[in-house]
Structure 1
């Protein structure tokens, strides 16, 4: 029942692109435990996210490129059941931390399922899906990871020192999210999904994202300077530099020829550069902020 095509739709390697949020939460977690760190990392990136990917792929039934799959195989009922198996494993692993962390995984999954399920299909509402996806993949995931890593519960979402950096991740995702939809206009329109990128138009998507990228830089500067971490600010700006350069180069080509340069290849390179740069920065920030480097130095 669980054929290779179904496993491909889980897109487990795609979890690499969502890792920066986890690493940021890790860097600010005061109550670290190696066991919880491993459980939360595996639960989120090897079970929760793949479950979400597979579930949404089953209902989207994409025929053209999607994030992490240039040529997605035809979906079968086996993919639906495989995604639910991964979902249940994620919940079970969550209980190894505490029941509240597991309940957060449940909430995230239900919202993710609503994104593509035909009874709700958040994906067809441009601004609603943009807000929900950015909040839950950013701020909610940050708080969820923080809670799991620290053995806390839902009270983390009432803590300013969790909500503020959590919202920073959402602001960053609200800028990049429309770019992940930009090469799927034809297929989204065919299904009746009015995504934000489709509503903004291709050039409008670039302009929209550029405003949010600027806002992201300003907000992170305020955050790091408020913590007297000028070195971290310069590190963040250095990490964002290749991302912004690639974005500007891509946009300059798109302005000359939309059909040629708005495609899966360019969008995935944007994702790769952004995720790699931010993962390196937040891994360094974790080592620096937790003083692990000084201990081993």
Structure 2
């Protein structure tokens, strides 16, 4: 059947992996004063998580040709021409969907997609440069996406540009600076083989965990300060309770890695991503509900 090659290529878009990026979306909504359009919020979610992120994942797989585990796939299938066609389709649908939301959102999304291409494209390949690639990822998947989401749902520009909101956008990038190197920690051999000197490869396994812990701790400190600044102590309590499992799991993982570097493997990395993503998403969704109801 004609559809079969596309079904075989579809896993390389890693649509379930987009779940790991959900916290930024919910965080952006939870930071906004109501009201905003629920319909536009749903459309922004679909465009980002079902179209734009998968398109970027597939484009990365097209150029990386991974033979080992990658985020969301322990055994990635072989790259085929159908993957490229799916990437183009998802890119086009993402931009068209964004245009249906608003022109400013579509322009921001297009910029995001172009930057994600530069990350993987072999003639630019930002991924080869550890500091630059990290800055690009934490800015565009963090603060940029945070603000892009708010633009997409139709938030007032005064609310978006308010100093506390910009500080929370910074927090999203600080959290990414902690979590992003951890996604590379099990890929050192694969990255070195391709000539990609990632931040985790530069830092080493233990250095990656120290850097990640520092980024996450700084992000939590700034978040707590902003919630205190805005008088949202209930939100601070929700965040502290929701992240308790994340802190516990991360501490246990660090202890395992210090005893045996082999513990920095694919399965533990994915479990860390899953737990942190679900806990943070749940916390920000609860904050959003509290803001809308009270």
Interval containing the TM-score (normalised by the shorter chain): over 0.9
Verify the 8 A CA contact 1:143 1:156 in the aligned structure 2: no
Task: Provide, for residues 100-139 of structure 1, a one-character-per-residue CA deviation record: whole Å limited to 9, x for no partner.
Answer: 1101110000000111110111111001111110110010
Task: Provide, for residues 56-101 of structure 1, a one-character-per-residue CA deviation record: whole Å limited to 9, x for no partner.
Answer: 1111111111111010001112111211110110100111121111
Task: Provide, for residues 29-77 of structure 1, a one-character-per-residue CA deviation record: whole Å limited to 9, x for no partner.
Answer: 3341122112111101100111111111111111111111010001112
**Residue 22 of structure 2 corresponds to residue 19 of structure 1:** yes
Of 279, 282, 288, which residue of structure 2 is paired with 1:280? 282
Verify the 8 A CA contact 2:150 2:160 in the aligned structure 1: no
Give the alignment's TM-score, normalised by structure 2: 0.94
User: How do residues 132-281 of structure 1 correspond to structure 2 at under 5 angstroms?
Assistant: 132-150=136-154, 158-259=161-262, 261-281=263-283
Distance 1:71 1:253, change over 3 A: same
Of 83, 89, 95, which residue of structure 2 is paired with 1:91? 95
Task: Provide, for residues 178-216 of structure 1, a one-character-per-residue CA deviation record: whole Å limited to 9, x for no partner.
Answer: 000000000000000000000000011111111112211
Give the alignment's TM-score, normalised by structure 1: 0.94
Secondary structure of the equivalent of 1:3?
Answer: helix
**Residue 53 of structure 2 corresponds to residue 41 of structure 1:** no
4+ aligned runs moved over 6 Å, structure 1: none
Deviation of 1:156 after TM superposition, in Å, equals 7.9
Query: How many residues end up aligned between the 2 structures?
Result: 290
Deviation of 1:26 after TM superposition, in Å, equals 1.4
Distance 1:58 1:152, change over 3 A: farther
Deviates more, 1:234-243 or 1:117-126: 234-243
Task: Provide, for residues 250-290 of structure 1, a one-character-per-residue CA deviation record: whole Å limited to 9, x for no partner.
Answer: 1111111112x111100001001100110110000000122
Unaligned runs of 5+ in 2: none
- RMSD after superposition: 1.6
Mapped partners of 1:238, 1:157: distance in 2: 27
Deviation of 1:161 after TM superposition, in Å, equals 4.4
Unaligned runs of 5+ in 1: none
Verify the 8 A CA contact 1:217 1:237 in the aligned structure 2: no
